[in-house]
Amino acid sequence: MTLGEKIGMLRKKANLSQAEFADKIGVSRDTIGKYERGDIVPTIEKAKKMADVLGVSIDFLASEEEKEEKLNHETVVRIKELQKLPEQEKNKILDVLDSLIRDFKTQQAYQLTR
């Protein structure tokens, strides 16, 4: 999927007209049309604004991936807070998290084999 196709698909998914989307990122409606047709490529600043408005990462916009595996906002906030902790505390939390994930996967595997 091209960048333009992705912009158009995400804009429609967000129920935004080209004019509404253009207002949110600070360009004209004609410019949005050119982005979606692939006639022009947005600057990095405009691409960042687009990603923010569309609720995706700039990496996703630039990639050829068709589906983004997004972290929800609460997860991102927690990860940022985790990064601020001292290394010893961070490792304790990661150990607990690893244990919970391992247990969940074990339960899932057990249910599949029943």
Q: What is the pLDDT of residues 19-43, one digit of tens each?
A: 999 999 999 999 999 999 999 999 9
Q: Which of 72, 20, 74 minimizes the C-alpha distance to 50?
A: 20
User: Along the chain (114 residues), what's the average pLDDT of each consecutive run of 10 residues?
Assistant: 91 94 96 95 94 87 70 76 93 94 87 67
With DSSP H G I counted as helix, E B as strand and the rest as coil, what are the percentages for the chain, rounded to 5?
Answer: 75, 0, 25
What is the Cα 3 distance to its own chain's centre?
14
Structural tokens at position 87:
């290394």
pLDDT at 76: 75
Residues 6+ apart with CB under 8 A from 79: 71
Total-model pTM: 0.59
Cα–Cα distance measured from residue 109 to residue 15, given in angstroms and rounded to the nearest whole number? 39
